[in-house]
Structure 1
Amino acid sequence: MGTLLELGPAENVELIQIMEEENLKLATSKGFKAVFTTNTSDLTQQVCDDLLSYKVLGDHQVNSWIAPDGSRPFAPAPNSQRAVTTVKLI
């Protein structure tokens, strides 16, 4: 998900929360039983976990990931960069 660079931090949080809530509404209207996501953004991780009560299934440091070919395409990423996989039953 993305927002506008011109928006301030509070507006970005609000916009991301609205978009995540719309995802849940759409999934519900389509008859889905859950929403499954992997987030690499600190903001979407916090919105899903803290505000929308998604359940964390996995939390992985991206620079340690090894591709099937043995390469490490995300090796330059900072140690703080995480990929968090979550699910929300609806």
Structure 2
Amino acid sequence: MMEEENLEHAKRRGFKAVFTTNTSSLTQQVCDDLLSYKVLKTGQPNKWVASDGTMPFAAAPDSQRTVTTVKFI
């Protein structure tokens, strides 16, 4: 319900799309399977290197995934 409300709020405010990056497998499944968001990119946060050369999520488990998606409304 929360993700559906996000889409309704975006529509009311005149947005053309909702863009999100999720680390929760449940939210990933809701956006991808139920709400038909388009997957743009997936990755592992523990491999990400910030612009200053640090790896702020290095301690995250290898099983953790990020999924960046978009839903045009």
Fold shared per TM-score above 0.5: yes
Structure 2 residue corresponding to 1:38, chosen from 21, 26, 49: 21
Q: Of the candidates 47, 58, 63, which is equivalent to residue 75 of structure 1?
A: 58
**Deviations 1:22-49 (CA, angstroms, capped at 9, x unpaired):** 0000111111111000111111111000
Instruction: Provide the TM-score with structure 1 as the length reference.
Output: 0.78
User: Which of the pair has more CA radius of gyration?
Assistant: 1
Aligned identity (percent) is 73
More helix by share: 1
In structure 2, the partner of 1:8 is none
Structure 1 runs, 4 residues or longer, greater than 4 Å off: none
CA RMSD in angstroms comes to 0.7
The runs of 5 or more residues in structure 1 that have no matched partner are 1-17
Gaps of at least 5 residues in structure 2 are: none
